[in-house]
């Protein structure tokens, strides 16, 4: 079983999509992968995903139902095999929190993107088109990640 944690800032827009899409694809491909997500900040702790993320996921047959935002914890660095930062700021924050000798591999999510590298742009303050762009990026990158695990 490979355990993967997606991390963004608020854990309501980008990382819930990572969690939902990876879980969905792993089930489809019958791969033993567990997905979760968290935020570097606690502003939205306890909240459901942003409705714009849930809507774009639903449009593609992916459910984010039951997800609730939470902040990253120290034990995440032991519980997960792979921690994926959605952008460079998230990666910096995670590196600063990472306990010494932590087990988890910590990388930027789009290092697995076959169509490019860089950040998953924060869609929070933009229009709904931003969520479509993020979904496409998350989906192709999750597929490439799973192909590497197979
Ligand atoms: P996320 O998006 O990091 O993809 O969940 C954001 C959500 C909330 C805020 C910023 C980004 N915020 O400032 O409240």
DSSP result, 113-133: -TT--S-----TTS-THHHHH
- Which residue in this structure is represented by tokens 């496409």? 136
Q: Are strands 105-108 and 82-85 parallel, antiparallel or unpaired?
A: parallel
Measured in Å, residue 39 CA sits from the centre of ligand 1 at: 9
Of the residues 23, 113, 122, 142, which is catalytic?
122
Measured in Å, residue 26 CA sits from the centre of ligand 1 at: 26
For ligand 1, atom 7, name the residue with the nearest CA: 10
Q: Which pLDDT belongs to residue 134? A: 98
Predicted TM-score of the model (pTM): 0.98
52 is catalytic: no
CATH superfamily of this structure's domain 2-149 = Response regulator (3.40.50.2300)
Of the residues 8, 13, 50, 110, which is catalytic?
8
Q: Where are the domains of the chain?
A: 2-149
Protein residues whose CB sits closer than 6 Å to any atom of ligand 1: 8-14, 43, 122, 124
Secondary element (H or E) of residue 107: strand 105-108
Segments in the chain forming alpha helices (H):
14-29, 51-59, 76-79, 88-97, 129-149
Tens of pLDDT, residue by residue over 131-147, are 999 999 999 999 999 99
8 is catalytic: yes
Tell which residue, 62, 42, 81, has the closest CA to residue 138. Answer: 62
Tens of pLDDT, residue by residue over 48-82, are 999 999 999 999 999 999 999 999 999 999 999 99
């Amino acid at each position: 079983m490979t355990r993967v944690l997606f991390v963004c800032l608020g854990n309501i827009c980008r990382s819930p999509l990572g969690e939902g899409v990876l879980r969905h694809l792993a089930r489809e491909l019958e791969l033993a992968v567990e997905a979760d997500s968290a935020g570097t900040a606690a502003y939205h702790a306890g909240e459901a995903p942003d409705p714009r993320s849930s809507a774009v996921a639903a449009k593609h047959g992916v459910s984010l139902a039951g997800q609730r935002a939470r902040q990253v914890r120290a034990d995440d660095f032991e519980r997960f095999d792979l921690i994926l930062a959605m952008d460079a700021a998230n990666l910096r924050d995670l590196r600063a929190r990472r306990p010494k000798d932590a087990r988890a591999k910590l990388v930027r999510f789009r290092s697995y993107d076959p169509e490019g590298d860089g950040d998953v742009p924060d869609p929070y303050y933009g229009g709904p088109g931003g969520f479509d762009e993020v979904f496409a990026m998350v989906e192709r990158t999750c597929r490439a990640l799973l192909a590497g695990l197979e």
